[in-house]
């Protein structure tokens, strides 16, 4: 391992986490900007398509390519025993494509560029998680993941608010240039201040194939996938909420960000509680809590109600994400972290992809409330799967 046995974390971890903060600040901005940006774009093939469906298509293009690329890039990273180059490739791709959006005038081009951007970003995610593992020891890993996750979440949560403010005063073009500038800053920090990491445990990817095929691993991935579907569905409805609630871009950005801020705020305390009461139990509670919240999103009658519901979603996700990742790391046995944990992160990306598309299609062609009920049912199904298929670690069996 790269990290020393000292109790203090490797300073490289902080630099990597800060660089990810800036990049995810830009990612959060794009997630908010693009569904609103495409409303007025020319489209020869999707001109008569409902805007909620178009928003779902463009979000899905990014999510699908991201989820597909992560397992492949994770295995390649483990095989080459290289990580920094994958992180740099992902950040550089994010930067270049953010510049391109500012000069794109057709909907189809945006869909294509989001697909490409998903591939480049997917190259970085498993590599970063492996580097965090190398920059920490078994005694400091929880703290390391907590620092990384908190900064990452803070960046993504701040993104929509920054984007809403910039769009209100300066327009979409300037907002996209801000995203690109954040990408440049992230790339610079990693390029000059973060060293490459190597781990002999990661070299033998095939040595733990049976572990990666553990059914519990895929149930955890499925739970994360379904959770993300219910959370990301809102991005297809930003134009619809704007009309229904008479909301401004800035107020919508606050609603979007309320989820991430609540998640960041509760992530550490709920993680500590899960260490005491059991991770499986905490995951189950988080899933169950999200069921009525998702249904409530279909009945939000004001921007205030929408903000409150999104904040509650953040709490429910905080109860799920950290325990799921902790269980996933335990299943890896410390071997081939990039390729194995990428199953969980790919499931997250897949949920991000399907959520907006599912919401857009059902709302555009069935009814506005149908996708919310379907998402709630899927989350409830994942709750029962966790109870039936996932075993609590030995230390918590009698908790």
pLDDT in tens, 182-197: 999 999 999 998 888 8
Q: What is the pLDDT of residue 1?
A: 45
Q: How many Å apart are CA 13 and CA 10, to the nearest integer? A: 6
Q: What is the pLDDT of residue 82?
A: 85
CATH code, 255 = 1.20.1250.20
Q: How many Å apart are CA 111 and CA 3, to the nearest integer? A: 41
Domain of 114, in residue numbers: 11-194+205-388
319 falls within a domain: yes
Q: What is the pLDDT of residue 346?
A: 80
Q: What is the pLDDT of residue 202?
A: 43
Q: What is the pLDDT of residue 203?
A: 45
Q: Which of 147-156, 272-281, 296-305 has the lowest mean pLDDT?
A: 272-281
The stretch 73-101 carries a mean pLDDT of 89
pTM attached to this predicted model: 0.71
Angle, vertex CA 157, rays to CA 36 and CA 128, nearest 5: 110
What pLDDT band is residue 380 in, cutting at 50, 70 and 90?
very high
pLDDT(3) > 50: no
372 falls within a domain: yes
195-252 pLDDT, tens digit per residue, is 888 765 444 444 444 445 667 778 888 888 988 888 888 877 888 888 888 888 788 8
Higher pLDDT, 281 or 9: 281
What pLDDT band is residue 312 in, cutting at 50, 70 and 90?
very high
Contact indicator for 130, 199 with CB cutoff of 8 Å: yes
Give the pair of three-digit tokens for residue 250: 């800035």
Task: Give me the number of domains the chain comprises.
Answer: 1
What pLDDT band is residue 315 in, cutting at 50, 70 and 90?
very high
Q: How many Å apart are CA 348 and CA 367, to the nearest integer? A: 26
Q: What is the pLDDT of residue 393?
A: 62
pLDDT(32) > 90: no
5 falls within a domain: no
Q: Which of 278-287, 341-350, 371-380 has the lowest mean pLDDT?
A: 341-350
199 falls within a domain: no
394 falls within a domain: no
What average pLDDT is seen over the chain? 82
Q: 48: which residues sit within 8 A by CB, 6+ positions away?
A: none
398 falls within a domain: no
200 falls within a domain: no
366 falls within a domain: yes
109-139 pLDDT, tens digit per residue, is 999 999 999 999 888 888 888 888 778 766 6
The stretch 6-21 carries a mean pLDDT of 81
Q: What is the pLDDT of residue 140?
A: 67
């Amino acid at each position: 391992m790269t990290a020393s046995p000292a109790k203090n974390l490797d300073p490289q971890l902080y630099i990597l986490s800060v660089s990810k903060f800036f990049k995810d600040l830009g990612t959060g901005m794009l997630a908010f900007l693009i569904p609103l940006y495409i409303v007025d774009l020319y489209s020869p093939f999707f001109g008569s398509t409902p805007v909620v469906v178009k928003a779902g298509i463009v979000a899905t293009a990014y999510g699908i390519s991201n989820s597909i690329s992560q397992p492949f890039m994770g295995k390649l990273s483990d095989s080459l025993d290289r990580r920094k180059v994958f992180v740099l490739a992902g950040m550089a791709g994010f930067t270049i494509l953010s510049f391109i959006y500012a000069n794109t005038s057709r909907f189809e081009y945006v869909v294509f560029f989001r697909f490409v951007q998903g591939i480049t970003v997917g190259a970085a995610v498993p590599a970063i998680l492996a580097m965090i593992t190398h920059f920490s020891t078994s005694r400091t890993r929880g703290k390391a993941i907590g620092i990384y996750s908190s900064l990452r979440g803070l960046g993504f949560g701040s993104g929509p608010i920054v984007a809403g403010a910039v769009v209100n005063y300066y327009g979409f073009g300037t907002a996209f240039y801000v995203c690109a500038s954040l990408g440049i800053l992230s790339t610079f920090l990693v390029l000059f201040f973060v060293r490459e990491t190597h781990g002999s445990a990661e070299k033998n990817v095939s040595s733990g194939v049976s572990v990666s095929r553990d059914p519990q691993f895929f149930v955890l991935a499925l739970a994360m996938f379904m959770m993300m579907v219910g959370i990301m569905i809102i991005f297809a409805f930003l134009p619809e909420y704007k009309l229904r609630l008479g909301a401004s871009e800035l107020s919508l950005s606050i609603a979007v960000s309320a989820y991430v801020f609540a998640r960041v705020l509760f992530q550490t305390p709920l993680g500590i509680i899960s260490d005491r009461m059991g991770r499986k139990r905490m995951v189950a509670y988080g899933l169950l809590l999200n069921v009525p919240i998702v249904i409530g999103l279909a009945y939000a009658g004001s921007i205030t109600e929408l903000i409150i519901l999104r904040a509650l979603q953040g709490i429910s996700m905080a109860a799920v994400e950290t325990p799921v990742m902790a269980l996933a790391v335990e299943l890896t046995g410390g071997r081939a972290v990039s390729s194995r944990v990428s199953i969980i992160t790919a499931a997250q990306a897949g949920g991000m992809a399907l959520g907006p598309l599912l919401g857009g299609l059902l709302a555009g062609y069935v009814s506005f409330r149908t996708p919310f009920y379907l998402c709630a049912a899927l989350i409830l199904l994942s709750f029962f799967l966790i109870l039936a298929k996932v075993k609590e670690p030995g230390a918590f069996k009698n908790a």
